[in-house]
Amino acid sequence: MEMFGQVPEVQDYKPEALQVKIWIMDRPTAGLLVPSAHTMSVCTHELESRTVTHRVEFSVQSFTMSILTKLRCITLDVTGTLIAYKGELGDYYCMAAKAAGQQCPDYKRVHEGFKLAYTEMAKKHSCFGFAEKIPNIVWWKTCVRNSFVQAGYEYDDETFEKIFRRIYATFGSSAPYNIFPDAIPFLRWLRERGVTVGLVSNAEYRYQDVILPALGLNQGSEWDFGVFSGLEGVEKPDPRIYEIALKKAGNVAPEEVLHIGDSLRKDYLPARSVGMHALLLDRFKTADAVDWRKSGVTVLPDLIATKEWLTSENSKCIDL
């Protein structure tokens, strides 16, 4: 048997693997990975028992793995991570008011009024009224009316109904949203590599059924499962929403899952608390990101950088 090159001592290459290529009658067969001395001796014995002409070539190949190879599932936040609001809230409230023959309300006052009204509704009837079985349209009608009231605008029932119907329809479509250009390529790239993709969002059913498909984010081609607070009755930052994600992923071990989001409180900390890995995107160069990095959080600018990070053999991640 003709040998080309010297065979290194296997025990000296613990992070490496020996690639064995076998030629039988001058035709190469598939390479064999030889990770241990035991396997090496078996392989040699089998080769020596051949009666045909053959030669063996040994070479050392790097066996260092990227982070992606250690993951079975990646979950992602939606708003701020995959999509973003287009324009300002006041734009849509103004258009709705004008369509009903009213003057355009003050943008700043409406925006502040909405924040107060939404916070109040979320405290009283969390997860868009899931526990009380409040119809989605009723929950939002109360929130929108209170938004105008907080901003100093009150309309009669008929006028408000016209305004609300337009607002509700608008935010139930893709009109107020932009999808980040790296979102679809990244999600498809993950699924092509056998990684299960899940979405975890504080959102109601229209995200799953209407908005995301209208933006080109379809279940089955861009993502595998979704955990939406309005459908599950649990919302971020409650860690239980991430436990639901693990179950939907097929009871995957948390150490085999990475969550990607844009909020330390809602995404990073609760995901880490259940044993998942996590990183944050800083798409808008926020001041908070400076503190995130100082605390040891992996912070990346977008999903293009995330792809590079996942495939780099030099990337570092807590416990990964």
3-state secondary structure the chain: CEEECCCCCHHHCCCEEEEEEEEECCEECCCEEECCHHHHHHHHHHHHCCCCCEEEEEEEEECCCCHHHHCCEEEECCECCCEEECCCHHHHHHHHHHHCCCCCCCHHHHHHHHHHHHHHHHHHCHHHHCCCCCCHHHHHHHHHHHHHHHHCCCCCHHHHHHHHHHHHHHCCCCCCEEECCCHHHHHHHHHHCCCEEEEEECCCHHHHHHHHHHCCCCECCCECEEEEHHHHCCCCCCCHHHHHHHHHCCCCCHHHEEEEECCHHHHHHHHHHCCCEEEEECCCCCCHHHHHHHCCCCEECCHHHHHHHHHCCCCCCCCC
Last residue of a domain, one of 170, 198, 220: 170
Domain check: are 101 and 189 in the same one? no
User: Of 170, 204, 222, which residue is a domain's last?
Assistant: 170
In-domain check, residue 25? yes
Are 12 and 43 found together in one domain?
Answer: yes
Last residue of a domain, one of 132, 149, 170: 170
In a domain, residue 164? The reply is yes
Q: Is residue 11 part of a domain?
A: yes
CATH code where residue 155 lies: 1.10.150.720
313 pLDDT band (50/70/90 cuts)? confident
Evaluate whether residue 185 is within a structural domain: yes
Q: Are residues 211 and 196 in the same domain?
A: yes
For the segment 124-150, the average pLDDT, to the nearest whole number, is 97
For residues 266 and 121, state if they share a domain.
no
* 103 plus 119 within the same structural domain: yes
Q: Is residue 32 part of a domain?
A: yes
Question: Where residue 316 falls among pLDDT bands split at 50, 70, 90?
Answer: low
Domain range enclosing 197: 67-85+176-311
Same domain, 114 and 217: no
Distance CA(97)–CA(16), nearest Å, equals 67
Q: How confident is the model at residue 278 (pLDDT cuts 50, 70, 90)?
A: very high
23 is a domain residue? yes
pTM: 0.78
pLDDT at 317: 53
Would you say residue 49 has pLDDT above 80?
Answer: no
Average pLDDT in the 24-47 region? 36
Residues 139, 207, single domain; the answer is no
In a domain, 318, yes or no: no
Task: Kindly state whether residue 117 falls inside one of the protein's structural domains.
Answer: yes
pLDDT at 15 over 50: no
Instruction: Tell me the average pLDDT across 2-9.
Output: 36
Same domain membership, residue 306 and residue 185: yes
Worst-scoring range by mean pLDDT, 31-40, 198-207, 267-276? Answer: 31-40
Averaged confidence pLDDT in the chain: 84
**162 and 47 belong to one structural domain:** no
Looking at 157-171, 232-246, 306-320, which range is the least confident one? 306-320
- Please check the confidence at residue 1 and state whether its pLDDT lies above 80: no
Same domain, 138 and 258: no
Higher pLDDT, 157 or 22: 157
High-pLDDT (> 90) share of the chain, %: 76
pLDDT at 54 over 60: no
Domain co-membership, 22 together with 43: yes
Residue 144 has pLDDT above 50, yes or no: yes
**CATH code, 215:** 3.40.50.1000
Q: Residue 53: what pLDDT?
A: 37
pLDDT confidence band for 315 (50 / 70 / 90): low
In this structure, the answer to whether residues 229 and 125 fall within a common structural domain is no
Report residue 3's pLDDT band, with 50, 70 and 90 as the boundaries. very low
How many structural domains does the chain have? 3
pLDDT, residue 258, reads 98
Higher pLDDT among residues 23 and 136, named by residue:
136
